[in-house]
Structure 1
Amino acid sequence: MSTGVLGLGKRDFVFSNWAGIFSCKPSLYFQPSTLDEIVELVNEARKAKTTIMVVGSGHSPSDMTMTDDWLVNLDNYKKVLKVEKHESGLYTDVTVEAGLRIYQLNEYLAQQGLALQNLGSISEQSVAGIISTGTHGASPYHGLVSQQFVDLTIVNGKGEIVHLDSETNQDVFKAALLGLGKIGIIVKATIRAIPAFNIKSSQEVINFETLLNKWDTIWTSSEFIRIWWFPYAKKCILWRGQKTEEPLSAPRESWYGTKLGRLFYESLLWLAVHVWSPLTPYVEKFIFNRQYGNVETLGNGAIAVQPSVEGLNMDCLFSQYVDEWAAPLTNGPEILRSLEHYINTAAINHDYYVHVPVEVRCSNTTTTNQVGNVAQIKDRSEISPGPIKGNDLRPYLDNTPKLNHVPLSDVTNSQLTLYINATIYRPFFTNSPYGKWFKIFEETMGAAGGKPHWAKNFLGSVEWAAGEVKEEKAYKDGEMRGFAKKNEEWFGEDLKTFQRIRREQDPDNVFLSSKQWAVRNGIVEIDE
């Protein structure tokens, strides 16, 4: 064990995810820095009949990356390998080692006068992680971040280095674009960047009723759009942004962006969680007033011009449980009305309380399944809305509705996916009750055609789980049951295809780490 790559393994290493919810102590922990070391690791794992789990920032709040076997982190595998600027100047393909964190890639691209086209709420993930979990942003024009990638290179479970794009190994490419770490280790990726741009945004206070009344037009009114819902205050924050060439201007000051405000907010949450839960609605109303004021400002919001990364990323505040689902956007008013009813009824009965904001976003995840270079640059300028895609394939495990694709100029709500994010904070890293709220949330989203985000704290049901299933009363608050049987129904042949590709690429189950999580959610068969 002292020679070769195995000699680099660390014992007694404890890995915890960002929220501090889950931790594990792998038998060996590795941080390889070369492709040869990664290939050797896979081959040694196969010989040892053990499994490999790859982790990046650990921002997923679930236990899907927890393992007692080998844990691999690619933070030391992060070089920029190649930069190819298109002759039009409208996009540049940048090839990187996949351990590079997104914030590091953002910094490199900014130095080159470039930027990623779309981002999620954070930039802490690795390149491999942002691809593997179905990360998305908030836009009626942009889809999953993985659509920005032209190609991938993986090391599969046989120790083979395999190149993937929409023409070469297309089926494996579609699996790896949302592979949950089960297809192989993504070691290299080419992402399609564009010239650096600023975002001009407006941040408006609107009443909850205003959101519902203007639902049909609000979601196609800007290139980037997101809404934060504060149900006890009966108000929302509507944030809309567009690419611009205007000079930078500072955003509205954030009250809980200050050290004192942040500490005060977290302290109030702690009191509401651990001392007197009926305080929760009063905390929300107080915080909303301090942060945003109470006057509706539709059409007269706070204006800011920021670099794209600052505009698209957001402050996630505190350690948290997160349950996010995707559903057809047209079902949004029905969903929100139902959630409002359950939230208010629960508060009256002191049954449970929710934390805020409830994040409401949309994406355009429709695809053409076109192969080859799909870049569309006709009549574009450097600030034209919408993406210059790296690929236009739908991953097999994409949890969003299969909606009809239309040109961006003709997009309506019927082509858009609604994402709703239910968050429960863990003030000062202490646990909060969340099982009752998440159960109601999931039942509501499921009834409206929704599916859960793979990497979040979804619960599922003993009725739908597979593998080791306990009696309902034996589960802890918020403990995952699983969605195996439901996922068979939801994903159908796509799930079977994913499972077949997984077996072909990993016949010795090197990447079948955290098997219990994979089985309970139907990613793999029980007997694999």
Structure 2
Amino acid sequence: MSFTLPNSLAKIRVPRIHHTWANTYQCSPQYYFQPKCLDDIKDIVNNARKFNKKIMVVGSGHSPSDLTIISNPINEWLVNLDKYNKFLNEKTSIDGKYTDVTAEAGMRVYQLNEILESKGLAIQSLGSISEQSLAGIISTGTHGSSQYHGLVSSQVVNLKIINSLGNVINCNSHENPDIFRAATLSLGKIGIIIEVTFRTVPKFQLRSVQEVINLDTLIEKFDSIWTSDEFIRIWWFPYTKKCILWRASKSNEPISLPRKSWYGTFIGRFFYESLLYICVKFLPKLTPFVERFVFSRQYGLIETFNKNGDIAVQNSVDGLNMDCLFHQYVDEWACPLINGPDIIRLLAKSIEEGKKSNEFYVHSPIEIRCSNTTLPLKDADEIDISNRKLIEKGPIYGNTLRPYLDTTPKLNYLPIDKVTNSQLTMYINATIYRPFDYPTDYKCWFHIFEEIMEAAGGKPHWAKNYDETIVTKEKMMEWYGDDLIKWRKVRQQVDPDGVFLSGSAWLERNGIVEDSIIEQKSKSEIIE
């Protein structure tokens, strides 16, 4: 069946090549659309179904893998919702302890943050950046770092999606809960998320303490560190044998900015990236010296743990977001936190051996975070918050349903006043920079990193770079089992025509959709 682009779609077509933020991948779809209203989105879906086209929804492109990369430029369309980004409404609870806000799913998180700030509200927990769309922040399992807070999707009260028939489906804990559990980690394959309702709280400041801690001290104090504050992050700089420990809690204190960042300045940043470029292209052996030099300029070399850390009071967004520095390859895994000390020792040993053999070098920091993705058995609205103070620690859940494809281990829930390391997940984020977009070699280090993480009961972040020789379709079924089968069932239910099966290379490699379904859809394309 031949296809001529209807005038209604021609009006929202933009000539654009899609690429990831880090320029790790790019693709040229047959058409790239930016819809402005619901009718535009329905028109795209209905025409895609009618003419056997496939749709890939993309946002900011911050996923560094090929998750959002099409496989067939003749037959696949990209849909970007940046212009579908209106704030719709808000509904405050009777006691004012939370407010449910609804917005179109193309709104970027930073845009919602600005609107919430003006209304005296805030998202309860954020990831490291706020560039993603609202749909994007939940579709791959975005999380922060806290002993109390889990996936950002646990703050979602309601979703609206469009299925492959062009129909709007409303889903939440009570209405279409199976679709909701699939859509809160959808990978972009459970229809098009068009509307998101978040449970927000009154805005708050974070009082943080940032300290230099020796790696040996970190391992020694590991068990107590992760339950010492509400938000905790660690950045490990292997060649210095030191880390930066950042801990924060809600506060009413006045704003007090952190000390200035050396590589936060234009000169410092450019100098650091230039040094990295020299290392990766000409002289890798310089890498440990560069990393030690940069650490000394940024933080100093004296351990300040429990002594004289840098104190700051910031609004929640500034405190939780961070500077990702340069374009990069990223490999992140989640595993039980109790395995952390052994993992760090093995990684440190491997990094040292790689340096001695000149086989590979790593970049800093290696980010270590935790989350609490265990969930109470009660429905979110049945949890008593009557005695809760406005800046009290912990979440006010939007839902208590675990996404089918949650990468974190299934651990036992304990009340907020009884949290232990045994119920926490550790995330380790290995980063290799691409200074000035140079294609740095990362595969040897990532392979070793993943072998250690997989042996420790870990699973990879869906949107990051990972080794396909370790993360196979068979391994995915072993890890997710019945949950993957249930996710596939929902996917087939909302998309019987395969409209959202774009990016077959990624799908096949990861076993997300059964091979027979991909083959069937591919044959129908050939016939057409």
Q: CA deviation at 1:368?
A: 3.0
Q: Flag structure 1 segments of 5+ consecutive residues without an equivalent.
A: 465-481
Residue 21 in structure 1 maps to residue 29 in structure 2: no
* SS at 1:256 equivalent: coil
CA contact (8 A) 1:228 1:358 kept: yes
Does 1:127 find its partner at 2:134?
yes
Partner of 1:50: 53
**Does the 8 Å CA contact 1:205/1:236 hold for their aligned counterparts?**
yes
Match of 2:367 in 1: 359
Q: 1:272 aligns with which of 270, 279, 304?
A: 279
Give the aligned partner of residue 181 of structure 1.
188
TM-score between the two structures when normalised by the length of structure 2: 0.95
Match of 2:406, SS state, is: coil
Q: Does structure 2 conserve the Cα–Cα contact (< 8 Å) formed by 1:374 and 1:389?
A: no
Aligned: 1:342 with 2:342: no
Alignment partner for residue 421 of structure 2, among 406, 413, 436? 413
1:262 aligns with 2:287: no
Match of 1:479 in 2: none
| Range moving further from structure 2, 60-69 or 432-441 | 60-69
Contact 1:327/1:418 (<8 A) preserved: yes
The answer on whether the counterparts of 1:12 and 1:25 sit within 8 Å (CA) in structure 2 is no
Confirm whether residue 223 of structure 1 aligns to residue 230 of structure 2. Answer: yes
Aligned CA distance change for structure 1 residues 54 and 369 (closer, same or farther; 3 Å): farther
Q: 1:510 aligns with which of 494, 499, 504?
A: 499
**2:381 equivalent among 369, 373, 390:** 373
Alignment of 1:33-432 (within 5 A): 33-67=36-70, 68=73, 69-299=76-306, 300-371=308-379, 373-374=381-382, 376-432=384-440
Aligned residue type for 1:216: D
Question: For 1:47 and 1:291, how far apart are their aligned partners in 2?
Answer: 57
Name 1:470's counterpart in structure 2: none
Distance 1:443 1:25 in 2: 34
Q: Secondary structure of the residue that 2:274 maps to in structure 1?
A: helix
CA distance in 1, matches of 2:468, 2:32: 31
Aligned amino acid, residue 195 of structure 1 = P
Matched-pair contact (CA < 8 Å) for 1:100–1:126: yes
Q: CA deviation at 1:502?
A: 0.5
Deviation of the 1:73 alpha carbon: 0.3
- 2:140 is matched by which residue type in structure 1? T
Q: Secondary structure at the match of 1:106?
A: helix
Give, in angstroms, the shift of residue 252 of structure 1. Answer: 1.5
* Count of residue pairs the alignment pairs up: 509
- 1:283-314 Cα shifts (integer Å, max 9, x gaps): 11000000000000011210000000000000
Q: Distance in 1 between matches of 2:290 and 2:42?
A: 52
* Dislocated runs of 4+, deviation >4 Å: none
Change (3 A) 1:379 1:371: closer
How far did 1:372 drift? 5.8
1:118-158 CA distances to partner (integer Å, 9 max, x unpaired)?
00000000000001010000001000000001010000112
Show the counterpart of 1:488: 477
CA positional deviation for 1:376: 4.0
Contact 1:11–1:27 at 8 Å: present in 2 too? no
AA in 2 matched with 1:268: L
Aligned amino acid, residue 200 of structure 2: A
Mind listing any 5+ residue stretches in structure 2 that lack a counterpart? Answer: 518-528
Q: Whole-Å Cα distance in 2 between the matches of residues 32 and 13 of structure 1?
A: 14
- Residues 374 and 392 in structure 1, CA contact (< 8 A), matched pair in contact too: no
- The offset of 1:253, in angstroms, is 1.2
The separation in 1 between residues aligned to 2:431 and 2:107, in whole angstroms, is: 28
Cα distance 1:2–1:415, how it changes in 2: closer, same or farther (>3 A)?
closer
Distance in 2 (alpha carbons) for counterparts of 1:505 and 1:282: 54
Shift of 1:375: 5.1
Q: Secondary structure at the match of 2:247?
A: strand
1:188-244 Cα shifts (integer Å, max 9, x gaps): 111011001000000000000010000110000000000000011000000000000
Q: Secondary structure at the match of 1:84?
A: strand
Return the alpha-carbon distance in structure 1 between the equivalents of residues 38 and 215 of structure 2.
Answer: 52
Alignment check: 8 A CA contact 1:232 1:285 kept? yes
1-structure distance, mates of 2:12, 2:350 = 50
Secondary structure of 2:467's aligned partner: coil
CA distance in 2, matches of 1:125, 1:376: 32
Rounded Cα–Cα distance in structure 1 between residues aligned with 2:380 and 2:209: 37
User: CA, structure 1 residues 519+312, in 2 after alignment: closer, same or farther (shift >3 Å)?
Assistant: same
What is the aligned partner in structure 1 of residue 524 from structure 2? none
Partner residue, 1:30 = 33
Partner of 1:475: none
1:12, 1:27 within 8 Å by CA — same for their partners in 2?
no
| Corresponding residue SS for 2:190 | coil
CA deviation after TM superposition for structure 1 residue 340, in Å: 0.4
Q: 1:375 to 1:130 in 2, by over 3 A?
A: farther
SS in structure 2 opposite 1:419? Answer: strand
Q: 1:258 to 1:449 in 2, by over 3 A?
A: same
Amino acid aligned to 1:504: Q
- What is the Cα-based RMSD across aligned positions, in Å? 1.1
**1:419 to partner: Cα distance:** 0.1
What percent of counterpart residues are identical?
A: 57
The alpha carbon displacement at 1:4 in A equals 4.4
Q: Which amino acid aligns with 1:522?
A: G
Amino acid at match of 1:420: I
Measured in 2, the distance between the counterparts of 1:121 and 1:289 equals 23
Kindly provide the amino acid, as one letter, of the partner of residue 157 in structure 1.
Answer: S
